[in-house]
Structures are given as C-alpha cells and as structure tokens.
Amino acid sequence: MNNDPKIPVQVNPDEDTEWNDILRAHGVIPEKPPSPTQQLEEALDEAVRRQHDNRLENKDLDELDALEDEEDEEFLNFYKQKRMNEIKKLSEKKKFGSVIPISKNEYEDEVTKSSKDTYVIVHLSLQSNLQSRLLSSLLIEIARKFPELKVCEIPAQRCIENYPESNCPTLIIYHNENVLKQYITLTQLGGNSTTLQDIEKVLVDLGAINENDKRLVVNDEDEDLQEFRRLRFAKKSVRQDNKDDEDDDDDFYD
C-alpha cells in the first residue's frame, strides 16, 4: 500500500511556464486564450492583407492600364477581365434611357411585374406642383445617366382616383415586385432644394446603383455646378408660375 502523502498543487492556467505547457499538451488545463493585444494585431494584419489583395477592386479599365508597369501581369489581367465582364453585363441591361409615361391600365405590367428584372422608379406627378416639376427634371437626368433603371411617370389622379394633391409628388421605388421605398413629397429628400445627388443617394442605399459607380454625380460635378442648376430651375419655375397666372387671368376675362 502506497502511504505517500499527496500534496495538492495550485496551478495558474494563465501563466507561461514549462510545467503549464506540459499540462496543456496532456489536456490537463485548457489552452491559454490569446491576449487582446494579440487578437488586435492579428485583426489589423488581416485588414491590411485584405486591403492589399483588393487594391484593384474599384479601379476602371483606364486606371488598370496605367498600372501595367507596377502590378503582376496575371493579377492585373484578372481584374481587367472582371471589369470587362461587368461592362458587358451592364450594357445588356441598358434598355431604357428616358422617362416612360404610363397609364393606369399599364401600371401592373410596366411597374410591378417589370420590377422583377430591374429597379423601377415611379413618379406620381402633378405638373402644377413645383416639387413635382423639379422631380420630373431630376428623373429625366437619372434615366439618361442610368439606362439600366426603368423610370416611369403617371399623373397621380389618373393612377389613383381622388389622390390628394398635397401628396404630390410621390416617388415610389420597386424591385422584385415589391415597394422598397416611398416618398410623399420631397420633404425627406431636400424639399424645393432636392438635387440629383439626393436622388442618387437613395438609389445607392437601395442597391439600385453601386456606390463606386463612376457615373454618380459626386464624382463628376462640384457643389457650385449643382447649385447653379438648382437656381436655374427655380428661376424657370417662377417664370412658368407667372405665365400660368397670366393664362388664368386671360381665362377669367374670356
């Protein structure tokens, strides 16, 4: 019979000792968790690696051509081919390019069902309304710049009987036969000062336009030019309102 007394030994599993290494190797104590500093360093290293691996992700063909002397040929050609495939795919989608006027009877086919294959933007309009005229002008530009998007317009009261004029303009965006977003007037977008960039931001947020798309207004227009266009539209609208008032006066005396 073994009468040797057994003396309990306290072990701190977090210590870096040779004895603890032996115990960990035999599964007696658990592996020591990595320190927060080590985890942070590993996360930073991984972020730097991903950034390096994806350094060509958002460059267009011209920018890639300019890197021929700096990048590995095979790596560069991979991104060139990827970019050409994206351009081809986008070209196949470019089938609109202008605002499409629709009737109530066409709404289901031209908007709801059509949104299964693309994003559809609908303007319920009222041409006597300043914001509606502003939105019409902005959507003409959206349709021209992004012909893969389907932009439709229908007078609100022809679409929905007795639709309140105070709800005009109404902007509705469909995809996969569902309404993704709806704006009653332009209050949430900038009111009478709504810009093309405001509309584009909505479309980027909804996934209708890629945030790195070179066609976005933020990439090719400065704020001064946008302000000039806004003021020009406002002056044009004032002249139109004055003309409408004169026409109303003429009608009164007829």
Query: Hey, is 60 helix, strand or coil?
Result: coil
Q: Is residue 248's pLDDT more than 60?
A: no
Backbone angles phi, psi at 207, to 5 degrees: 90, 5
**99-237 maps to which CATH number?**
3.40.30.10
How distant is the alpha carbon of residue 1 from its chain centre? Answer: 80
Rounded to two decimals, what is the model's pTM?
0.57
Element (H, E) at 92: helix 73-93
Taking only the tens place, the pLDDT of each residue in 146-161 is 999 999 999 999 999 9
Residue 30 pLDDT:
76
Domain regions of the chain by residue span = 99-237
For the residues of 232-252, what is the DSSP string, one character each?
HHHHHHHHHHHHHHHHHHHHH
Residue 220 pLDDT:
47
Taking only the tens place, the pLDDT of each residue in 79-122 is 777 777 766 666 665 678 899 999 999 999 999 999 998 999 99
Amino acid occupying residue 87: I
Q: Is residue 24's pLDDT more than 70?
A: yes
